Structure 1
Amino acid sequence: MARLSLDNVTKSFANFDAVKDVSIDVADGEFLAVLGPSGCGKTTLLRLVAGFEKVTSGEIRIGNEVVSGKGGSVAPEKRRVGIVFQNYALWPHMTVAENIGYSLKVAKLDKAVARRKVEDALALVNLQGLGERRPANLSGGQRQRVALARCLVAAPSLVLFDEPLANLDVHL
């Protein structure tokens, strides 16, 4: 995983600072958990790193590249950041396998290679044999694992989780 550095990052909405002067340095391969009460800015911070929001001030680096700062913002799809959302953001009209493989389809990966990567991702999250189901036919924990597999199948350089353990069974 790539190094992540936030330098005095602030995100304001009108007169409200959702994130104020946050500085974090996460080494390559390091795991960081951000804890705090509801409404303190954790999700906004993740959205800033992913590129879904633009910083008001400060700078965000992934690896050695500035992805958000005075000079502008790198588009989310060019950051190689995977995110697992609190609400999973699964498409109900797609099967589990189609949800997981969507980024590979957009990248125009060879269908056989993509199919193998999806199977490997299903095995990684212990959902073998469920690829043809729809998200509505899964438990909350299974949906969360589909969202995780969808994130990991694209081999991101950085992975972000919003409430990652909220719906997983204790033994998982």
Structure 2
Amino acid sequence: MAAAERLHIVQAAVSQQIARLERELGVVLFDRSTRQVRLSGAGERLLPEARAVLAAARRTRQVAADIAAGEEGVLRLGIVQSERIHRLMNGLAAIAPRLQVRLHRLVPAERLAAVLSGELDAALVRAATAAPGLELLPVWTEPLLVALPVGHPLADEPVPRLPQLAGLPLRLAPRDNNPPFHD
């Protein structure tokens, strides 16, 4: 009777659910008499297990709520190696300490394809201006730098212009690895 009141259902419904559970488990959980109902030996043995299941269900609901609130979960992130990644991860850890970030180093085209397929949750890419089926959001800007020997004539220029640099050798990753950045 007390269980029915706590669950806000009628006693008959509780009895039916207990009978269904006993049939499913193949054991009698309660010894019933006209005066009292008490746990059977099987019921006593299964009680700690049932309590553990209920505690696990409560923990699962709490973790799900934390994930929904963005406080916990797993972020699968496609990246390119950079010093900014370390700063980004530190900043993310400060605001979401229970968020697990799984980094995946892939070339840009593979990162975008993995986000599109759902294999990754997000990816950091440089110089992309379009990605059909995906939304591109600016995260930060990086200056493009030129490294010159100290004695080079352009080293004294405050900001060398591209035409001045046109004749210098340039080393880039193959175009197939990142066409927008290469271009």
Common fold: TM-score over 0.5: no
- The structure whose residues are more often helix, as a share, is 2
Measured against the shorter chain, the TM-score band is under 0.3
Which structure: larger Rg?
2
Higher relative contact order (CA 8 A, sep 6+): 1
Q: TM-score, normalised by structure 2?
A: 0.21
